[in-house]
Amino acid sequence: MSDRVIPIAEARYQPLPLPEPRALEYRAQPVDLRARPMHDLRISVTDRCNFRCTYCMPKEVFGRDYPFLPQSSLLSFEEITRLAQAFVRLGVRKLRLTGGEPLLRKQLDRLVSQLAQISTPEGGALDLTLTTNGSLLERHARALRDAGLGRVTVSLDALDDAIFKRMNDADYPVADVLRGIDAALAAGLTGLKVNMVVQRGVNDAQVIPMAQHFRGTGVTLRFIEYMDVGSTNGWRMNEVLPSRELIERLSSVWPIEPLNRDYRGEVAERWRYVDGAGEIGVISSVTQAFCGDCTRARLSTEGRLYLCLFAQQGYDLRELVRDARVTPEQLSDTVAAIWAARRDNYSELRSANSASGQKIEMSYIGG
């Protein structure tokens, strides 16, 4: 390891020491201490965002002088691709690009093109997707689809402009996001999902209008319980609208019925309208923890591997991926050793004590 000056932005979260590599047969999926395999890798391409959502990047913390990561700290597209290949070798079949706001990363379609060329050891295609606030999607949707992006998930917390602007705290109108959704559909990005974080007393009155808007459009609306992610959003349990209550609200207007999950580790509980007008989802990470089936890993903008959305520390893979002497197999061996020691189950243990301490901000590793 070379001596170097660590930017103050990097020093916020001290990394964990890397374990000794664990040799594997690469056709076998490593499992963690709770027998959970790796399936999903979330890749944060920037820690910056043009929104200042109160539940994620509140303006009073992420202000004009906030020390975001310098360009030199960020993984290059080639480094991200090399790491993604190491994870795919271990069983990852879904790559999600996130942030911050990923569309702020210049030439993101070039990264998409590189990732789209990765295939599974069996020669299959990956599920390549992206999460965005939608404000820049209209101008980028076609290029992303042409580069090989398969799906997109858009965050939208209200249809009412006043509520939406109050939540994003950056004066972005709903119309910008809706145009982005239309552009994504026109570009051929199918299976589009819209995520709504529901905060009691803030935007929960928008649940029915949002459902009404997306019914029958082919877009899947998913409602997410307001979570205690990071250390800056002032989370309180009384602001959580439990998914059970939300389902009751919806079913009082339109009869709905449950569906089976598509795969192990899928976080959304799926429902469909009885009248055939489409599907909705609920993500209940506060009231119905799904840690037992969590198959997600998260790679931060500068190459740290986090094993839980509520983690306090991660493993620094950047120096490994920047060392030309480290082979692809050695990269995978190291990741396998990290995963094999994983036991994270924060949501199952959530309490006054387990919720203390500085958790990683969601804008840093993606939601």
Please tell me the predicted confidence (pLDDT) of residue 26: 47
Burial 58-91, CB ≥16 within 10 A → b, else e: beeebeeeeebbeeebbbebebbbbbbbbbbbbb
Overall average pLDDT of the 13-24 stretch? 78
pLDDT of residue 28: 65
pLDDT at position 326 over 50: yes
Q: What is the mean pLDDT of residues 87-116?
A: 97
Q: Which residue has the higher pLDDT, 21 or 176?
A: 176
Query: What pLDDT digit, counting tens, does each position of 255-265 carry?
Result: 999 998 877 76
Residues 6+ apart with CB under 8 A from 288: 243, 269
> How does pLDDT run across 28-58, given as a tens digit for each residue?
689 999 999 999 999 999 999 999 998 889 8
Residue 111 CA, distance from chain mean position: 17
Its pTM stands at 0.89
Whether 366 has a pLDDT exceeding 80, the answer reads: no
CA distance 222 to 214: 11
Residue 193 structure tokens? 């999902």
φ/ψ of 347, rounded to 5, equals -65, -35
What is the structure's pLDDT at 273? 98
| Residue pLDDT, tens place only, 126-164 | 999 999 999 999 999 999 999 999 999 999 999 999 999
Give CA–CA dist 221/194, Å, rounded. 5
Distance (Å, whole) CA 206 – CA 199: 10
Give the mean pLDDT of the chain.
88
Burial label, 117 (beta-carbon count in 10 A; 0-12, 13-18, 19+): exposed
Angle between helices 174-186 and 137-147 (to 10 degrees): 20
| pLDDT tens readout for residues 264-298 | 767 889 999 999 999 999 998 787 767 888 899 99
Residue 187 corresponds to which tokens in the numbers above? 């570009």
The neighbouring-strand residues paired with 315 are: 16, 305
114 pLDDT above the threshold of 70 = yes
Q: Is 1 a residue whose pLDDT tops 90? A: no
Tell me the C-alpha distance between 182 and 178, whole Å.
6
Tell me the residue type at 326: V
Residue 318: is its pLDDT beyond 90?
A: yes
Q: What local confidence, expressed as pLDDT, does residue 5 receive?
A: 46
Give all strands (DSSP E) within the chain, no chain letters.
40-44, 94-98, 127-132, 151-155, 193-198, 220-225, 256-258, 269-273, 279-283, 296-299, 304-306, 315-316
Q: Confidence band (pLDDT; 50, 70, 90) for 176?
A: very high
349: pLDDT strictly greater than 80: no
- CATH number for 37-365 (one of 3.90.226.10, 3.40.50.12780, 3.90.230.10, 3.20.20.70): it is 3.20.20.70
Three-state secondary-structure class, residue 121: coil
Highest mean pLDDT among 106-110, 239-243, 326-330: 106-110
Give residues with Cβ within 8 angstroms of 254, minimum separation 6.
211, 215, 273, 274, 275, 277
pLDDT of residue 338: 94
Within a 13 Å sphere around the CA of 30, how many CA atoms are in the beta-carbon half? 26
The pLDDT score that the predictor gives to residue 34 is 93
Q: What percent of the chain has pLDDT over 70?
A: 86
- Of the chain, the end-to-end C-alpha distance in Å amounts to 31
**367 has a pLDDT exceeding 70:** no
Residues 344, 34: Cα–Cα separation, whole Å: 9
% of the chain with per-residue pLDDT over 90: 70
Tens of pLDDT, residue by residue over 64-101, are 899 999 999 999 999 999 999 999 999 999 999 999 99
Residue 194 forms beta bridges with which residues?
154, 221
Instruction: Find, among 239, 247, 232, the residue nearest to 283 by Cα.
Output: 247
pLDDT value at 357 more than 60:
no
At 232 the pLDDT is 53
Residue 351: which pLDDT band, with cuts at 50, 70 and 90?
very low
Handedness of CA 132, 114, 307, 73 (dihedral sign): negative
